[in-house]
Amino acid sequence: MTDHELISGIIDGDESAFKRLVELYQDKTYSICLGYLRNEEDAEDTAQEVFIELFRSIYKFKGESGLNTWVYRIAVNKSLELIRKRKTKKRFGFLNSLFGNEDIIERNYADFKHPGVQLENKERASVLLTHIEKLPDSQRTAFQLHKMQEMSYQEISDTMNTSLSSVESLIFRAKKNLQKSLKYYYENDKTQ
Amino acid sequence: MKSNKNIEKEIAKTMGSLEGASDIKAKPYFYTRLSTRMEERQLRQSTVWNWSLAAMILIVLINVISLLNISTETEENVDAIDLMASEYSMKNDDIYNSTLE
């Protein structure tokens, strides 16, 4: 089934076409969300929201880019949206605790161990993810899609809707910034 | 504290530590959970829509009843005023109808 056939099937109300689309992209979508959110429950929730959004707005798909890049773009945006919400909650956490709002539970994302990473690399990956989180959104997205999703520069450029040279520059700056912050981290790491 | 060489080595290892991160799969029955969530949301939305429609109809009804009541009350009030005015010979237009003596 081609992208076009899948989309026309979904628009015509064919449930099997939607199921096929979900099965095709669920792993990559979940993986993208997990890379950003560092929590399996949040990643699953957000991946589901990606497909709900896709289902709602499928008629908007014009076919200018591939269906895969469209799905991944929604996944990136939804993940960043949740991160922004988390930050807002954190900012107003004090007020919420005053009013006894128990829903705001701050998770310790620093302890997250990525399930896809090899066992001997888990600690280092956890450190790297903490430092990636401090990068600006665009640098973070380009770096994560390249390193964690093994996407080519062209795929990243399509997903981020930006030029190839911008992607190169973003990844270069992300690497530089990460090396700098990791150097500072290891130089001041008293536990080593 | 570590030497510069060790730190460089550590940074290089850390930078390459995410290898294999793309090899993860969504949990089994992802589609089943997704379709349940979509159905629940649709049901919730239709319930909200039904309640909104019922509330709107109720508001319109209350308004129509109030308007009808007000117009009947106004007519009754005008009748009562006319009656009182004629009883006390205070019809408003008397002054225009009366002739100078």
A94 vs A129, which has greater pLDDT?
A129
- What one-character DSSP code corresponds to residue B1? -
pLDDT of A183 reads 93
C-alpha A59/C-alpha A39 separation (Å) is 31
Contact status of A179 with chain B (Cβ, < 8 Å): yes
Q: Where does the pLDDT of residue B38 fall: very low under 50, low under 70, confident under 90, or very high at 90 and above? A: very high
> Hey, what are A56's tokens?
């709602």
A99 vs A161, which has greater pLDDT?
A161
Residue A21 has pLDDT above 90, yes or no: yes
C-alpha A183/C-alpha A179 separation (Å) is 6
A63: left (phi over 0), alpha (psi -120 to 50) or beta: left
Which residues touch A186 (CB under 8 Å, ≥6 apart)? A192, B2, B7, B10, B11
Contact status of A24 with chain B (Cβ, < 8 Å): no
Count CB pairs under 8 A between chains A and B: 102
Among candidates A34, A44, A128 on the partner chain, residue whose Cβ is nearest the Cβ of B14: A128
C-alpha B6/C-alpha B28 separation (Å) is 42
pLDDT of A104 reads 47
Name the residue of chain B whose CA is nearest to A16's CA: B31
B73 vs A180, which has greater pLDDT?
A180
Question: How many C-alpha atoms does A96 have within 13 Å on its Cβ side?
Answer: 12
Residues of B with CB under 8 A from a CB of A: 1-2, 7, 10-11, 13-15, 17-27, 30-31, 33-34, 37-38, 41
pLDDT of A184 reads 93
Residue B27 has pLDDT above 50, yes or no: yes
Q: Where does the pLDDT of residue B93 fall: very low under 50, low under 70, confident under 90, or very high at 90 and above? A: low
Q: What is the mean pLDDT of residues A144-164?
A: 93
Residue A190 has pLDDT above 60, yes or no: no
Q: What is the mean pLDDT of residues A80-101?
A: 77
Test B26 with A44 for CB contact under 8 angstroms: yes
Mean pLDDT estimate for chain A: 87
C-alpha A48/C-alpha A26 separation (Å) is 9
Judge whether A164 and A154 are in contact, CB under 8 Å.
Answer: yes
Mean pLDDT estimate for chain B: 83
